[in-house]
């Protein structure tokens, strides 16, 4: 079954560019501005938009995202608020929508409720950084029939055998965390990343997205032939926190 997330990435590639996937924590920089920013990202060329579900213990996030998420939690942002907003605004958003968050908020919401509500409000995918494959598999039967693609995160230290197992879940795309374990010279780091991306391409039939630590198009040049999509979070959050517009940020990636 075709997924809008895969389709959006393929459409970008057919236009001769990488798919753009901005990440913003729900309610950032505040609840009043958040949906306007999502709409502006959509109008400015976002192919997929990742909405972060704030959580009190974001163990996989860097300091910028963690600080932003805590700020959103302090405003009372939760999954119910996100779903209410999507029910209102989703019909005007052409980008694919992915929820990225830790397992606890999804579990508290109820996975059956999550699946049905996601289908109702147009959520297309879900990323759960703290849910390993073995723990995720029993829940996929609840999520996938509603059209919710489970997007795996893989790192530079993820063995190919494990990536092969992730590929069996048939994700809409795979998300490679680019910075984990990169040490040494720029040249050696680039080669390490290229080697891992080649393994990703061997294991997955779906497109590959690269994220974590990206702040400019120039960073993609050494690996551009192996990446179909780019995810940016911290750089966008910093940009918005300075009072700058989402449109200006997206223009630099066009």
CA distance 70 to 95: 26
In the block, tokens 């029939």 appear at 145
Question: Largest alpha-carbon pair distance within the chain?
Answer: 48
252, part of any domain? no
| CATH number of the domain encompassing residue 234 | 3.20.20.70
- Tell me whether residue 250 is in a domain: no
Is residue 254 situated within a structural domain? no
Q: Which residues are marked as active site? A: 50, 61
Distances (CA, A) of 125 to 78, 92, 148: 18, 18, 5
251 lies in a domain? no
- Which pLDDT score, from 0 to 100, does residue 188 have? 53
Residue with tokens 């860097």: 62
Q: pLDDT tens for the chain, 254 residues: list them.
A: 458 999 999 999 999 999 999 999 999 999 999 999 999 999 999 999 999 999 877 666 667 877 888 888 888 899 999 999 999 999 999 999 999 999 999 999 999 999 999 999 999 999 999 999 999 999 998 888 888 999 999 998 999 999 999 999 999 999 998 864 433 445 457 888 899 999 999 999 999 999 887 878 888 888 889 999 999 988 899 999 999 999 999 999 88
CB 207 within 8 A of CB 229: yes
Cα(first)–Cα(last) distance of the chain, in Å? 30
Domain assignment present for 111: yes
- DSSP 3-state of 126: strand
Return the residue matching tokens 């040049």: 221
pLDDT value, residue 60: 61
50 assigned to some structural domain: yes
* CA geometry: angle 5, 7, 11, nearest 5 deg: 120
Please give the residue range of the domain that contains residue 236.
4-245
What's the pTM value of the predicted model, to 2 decimals? 0.93
Q: Is the residue at 253 inside a domain? A: no
Q: Is 142 inside a domain boundary?
A: yes
Overall number of domains in the chain? 1
Instruction: Cite the DSSP H helix spans in 25-132.
Output: 31-43, 63-74, 79-89, 103-109, 111-121
Distance of CA 157 to the CA centre of its chain: 20
DSSP structural state of residue 144? G
């Amino acid at each position: 079954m075709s997924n809008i997330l895969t389709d959006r990435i393929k459409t970008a590639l057919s236009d001769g560019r990488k798919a753009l996937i901005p990440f913003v924590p729900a309610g950032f920089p505040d609840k009043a501005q958040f949906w306007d920013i999502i709409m502006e990202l959509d109008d400015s060329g976002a192919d997929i938009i990742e909405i972060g579900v704030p959580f009190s213990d974001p163990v996989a996030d860097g300091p910028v995202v963690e600080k932003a998420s805590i700020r959103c939690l302090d405003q009372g942002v939760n999954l119910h608020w996100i779903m209410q907003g999507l029910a209102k605004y989703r019909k005007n958003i052409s980008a694919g929508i992915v929820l990225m968050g830790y397992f606890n908020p999804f579990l508290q919401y109820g996975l059956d409720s999550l699946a049905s509500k996601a289908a109702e409000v147009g959520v297309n995918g879900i990323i759960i950084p703290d849910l390993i494959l073995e723990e995720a598999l029993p829940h996929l039967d609840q999520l996938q029939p509603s059209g919710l693609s489970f997007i795996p995160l893989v790192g530079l230290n993820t063995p190919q055998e494990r990536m092969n197992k992730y590929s069996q879940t048939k994700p809409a795309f795979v998300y490679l965390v680019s910075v984990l374990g990169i040490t040494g010279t720029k040249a050696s780091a680039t080669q390490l990343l290229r080697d891992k991306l080649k393994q990703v391409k061997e294991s997955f039939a779906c497109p590959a997205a690269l994220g974590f630590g990206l702040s400019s198009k120039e960073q993609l040049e050494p690996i551009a032939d192996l990446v179909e999509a780019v995810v940016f979070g911290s750089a966008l959050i910093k940009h918005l926190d300075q009072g700058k517009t989402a449109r200006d940020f997206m223009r630099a990636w066009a």
